Amino acid sequence: MKKSLFAALVLASSMAQAAEVVVLEAELPVVARGREFASSKFQMDTKTGEGFVKTTVTEEVTVWTTETWCTPQFCQSGPVARTVTNQIYSGSAKIANLVLMGDDAVYQGEEGNVVCGTMKPSRIFRVPTLYLSGKCKLETQVLRSNLEAKVVVTLRAK
């Protein structure tokens, strides 16, 4: 009994420390006709020390065309399905309270500081690269209602 009470207390305290902030909320300019894929990634400005999120929304559309193919005996035409990928949104937004302290990218939330990652030069090209620690996560969703669609990016810090 004491162990389960202690485990519940530890679980409740760890859930209370998680920060959740909506970083980007933007309307999509085009109503998608196919399957949508949204992705976001962290970007750090090494000169100013500010953190940003870069978001891209693409759609896959199946386009049917008619093609003709021939053999030595006869020619035949028929429908052929092709998948086309279109980018319908690309945007960037500043993440409030995500700063560069030394080489660490730190999110300064109400619950305290969370180290999201470390800036190091990449192994091959030696360009500054953010290596994430797993304590900060970006969740990207495409929300639809009737004829409107919007993309929402949420930062979750543990």
Whether 56 shows a pLDDT value over 80: the answer reads yes
Least confident stretch, 14-28, 45-59, 107-121? 14-28
* Residue 9 pLDDT: 39
Whether 8 shows a pLDDT value over 80: the answer reads no
Whether 18 shows a pLDDT value over 80: the answer reads no
Pairing mode, strands 128-132 and 136-145: unpaired
pTM exceeds cut of 0.75: yes
Q: By the 8 A CB rule, do 155 and 95 touch? A: yes
What is the three-class DSSP state of 2? Answer: helix
- Checking phi first, is residue 126 left (phi over 0); if not, alpha (psi -120 to 50) or beta? left
Mean per-residue pLDDT over the chain, rounded: 87
* Residue 145 pLDDT: 84
Whether 14 shows a pLDDT value over 70: the answer reads no
* Residue 32 pLDDT: 66
* Residue 17 pLDDT: 57
Domain boundaries, the chain: 16-63+78-157
What is the distance between the alpha carbons of residues 19 and 114, in angstroms, rounded to a whole number?
10
